[in-house]
Amino acid sequence: MFRRGMPVNPKIVGAVLLSTFLVALAFAFVSHAGLPGRHYRYATAAFDEVPASLRPGSDVRVDGVRIGQVHSVSYKGGEARVTFQLPGGTEVHRDATAKIRNRSALGQKYVDVDLGTAGAGPLGSTVLDKNQTVSLVELDQVLDALDPPTRAALASAVRELGGGIGTHGRDLNDLIAASPDLLADLGTTSAALSDPKTRLVPFLQAAERLGARFTGRQAELEALVGHLGDTLAAVAADGGRPLQSSLEQAPGTLQALTPALRDLAGAAASTGAAARDLGPAAAALGAATPDLRGALREIVPTLRALPGVNGLAAPALGALATTLNDARPLAPAVRRGINLLSLPLEVLAPYAAELDLAADGLRDTTAGTDAAGNFLRIVAILVGADNLSTVLPLSSPGLNRNPYPTPGQAKTDGSRFSPLGTAQTPGSPTGTASKPGASR
């Protein structure tokens, strides 16, 4: 048998539950101001602007740990002021800083506070200056600064980026997996780029100028990319094994090529000196270029007439070729004849002047006729007349004749003639000399 309990009045139970609910509801409305009976410290910071989602009750964190909450948000003197509610033992110093950060993707915000150092002194009732705070700029505020065409282009770029990322999800996962190593390398790369010796700014300016050169040549670049694809496809033939074989042999080839390149460096230095010496010649060639261009322009009519001349000369050249072919068997005989004549010609070569005098005498012998019409005139030559120079009345005592003259002596032989001679003596009235044999 169970003992019957005390009777329960439902009205009393309902009143208790309703009172509890009202107390909890009231506590919820005032909980942002802190728990009753606890001591709090307050600090105020000024911001350029505060997002609408930062309200009383938002978190105040130090090093990511929640230590308090936003007590109130107000505007005074053209600036936004946020009052923090912190635990009673928390001290905020004059060199403290505060930043508004995103708490979640849903738009919730919190205030990240650096309490500062004790050496700067307590903040007290002083307002933390805006120079020590950082406001959070919402994305919609950034987009408001863009004009409609720019916003439309940005929306298109975001859509294309989303589509690209959606189709390359696996590649993106691989990139994220390799990101730790990439970030380490990125730090090294950033340090190298920030070095003044890198000259990044001139490089970017040169890249900008190079990009401007490609403006209007998109079709050519497209064709070039197509050819590049064909080239890469050819390189990848047979699974890239020919390329792999070439790369495996490359170290030995480069090692063998190094001495040749070293020797080539010396040759290049000599080539530089030669190029400097060639400079004046190149300048002269440049100065002569207009004249050369004019000569080439003027020679065009002549060159156009040349085919006709070639056509006229073709029969004569054909006949000459036939003649030379027919005369080819005579060449050995002519060569033997010249060889046989070389010895007499060597003997007669010193007497070239005497042979010239003899030829002149033969010419003068038949140069004209006398009154009787005779062409040939012959004067008897008496052998030994030199020995009879004192006997013959017509001979001259100064007559000089040598029956065996040496080369060059014939022009002086008989320089003083009798009346039958042709040369006058130095004391003759005329004072001139005529060629031997001129007197008939």
Q: What's the half-sphere exposure (Cβ side, CA atoms, 13 Å) at 220?
A: 5
Tens of pLDDT, residue by residue over 109-120, are 899 999 999 899
Q: What whole-number distance in Å separates Cα of residue 25 and Cα of residue 359? A: 154
Please tell me whether residue 82 adopts helix, strand or coil conformation: strand
Mean pLDDT computed over 201-213: 86
Please tell me whether residue 372 adopts helix, strand or coil conformation: coil
Give the confidence band of 166 by pLDDT, cuts at 50, 70, 90: confident
Q: For the chain, report the end-to-end CA distance as a whole number of angstroms.
A: 199
**What pLDDT is attached to residue 1?**
46
Q: What whole-number distance in Å separates Cα of residue 158 and Cα of residue 160? A: 5
pLDDT higher than 60, residue 341: yes
178: which 2 tokens? 């390799």
pTM over 0.85: no
- The burial class, CB within 10 Å (0-12 / 13-18 / 19+), for 418 is middle
Give the confidence band of 5 by pLDDT, cuts at 50, 70, 90: low
Please tell me whether residue 100 adopts helix, strand or coil conformation: strand
Q: Any residues with CB less than 8 A from the CB of 418 and at least 6 apart, and which?
A: 394, 395, 396, 399
CATH 2.40.30.110 occupies which residues in the chain? 31-136
pLDDT higher than 80, residue 189: yes
Q: What whole-number distance in Å separates Cα of residue 40 and Cα of residue 232? A: 71
The CATH code belonging to domain 31-136 is: 2.40.30.110
pLDDT higher than 80, residue 24: no
Q: What's the half-sphere exposure (Cβ side, CA atoms, 13 Å) at 416?
A: 12
Return the ∠ at Cα 8 (arms to 3 and 9), rounded to 5°: 155
More confident residue, 317 or 8: 317
56: which 2 tokens? 């009383």
The mean pLDDT value of the chain amounts to 76
**What pLDDT is attached to residue 366?**
65
Are the C-beta atoms of 126 and 94 separated by less than 8 Å?
yes
pLDDT higher than 80, residue 227: yes
Give the confidence band of 399 by pLDDT, cuts at 50, 70, 90: low
**Three-class DSSP labels, 124-190:** CCCCECHHHEECCCCHHHHHHCCCHHHHHHHHHHHHHHHHHHHHCHHHHHHHHHHHHHHHHHHHHHH
Tens of pLDDT, residue by residue over 33-90, are 555 557 788 899 999 888 888 888 889 999 889 988 898 899 888 888 999 988 888 8
Are the C-beta atoms of 140 and 151 separated by less than 8 Å?
no
Q: What whole-number distance in Å separates Cα of residue 109 and Cα of residue 73? A: 13
Q: Give which of 51, 55, 90 is closest to 70, Cα–Cα.
A: 55
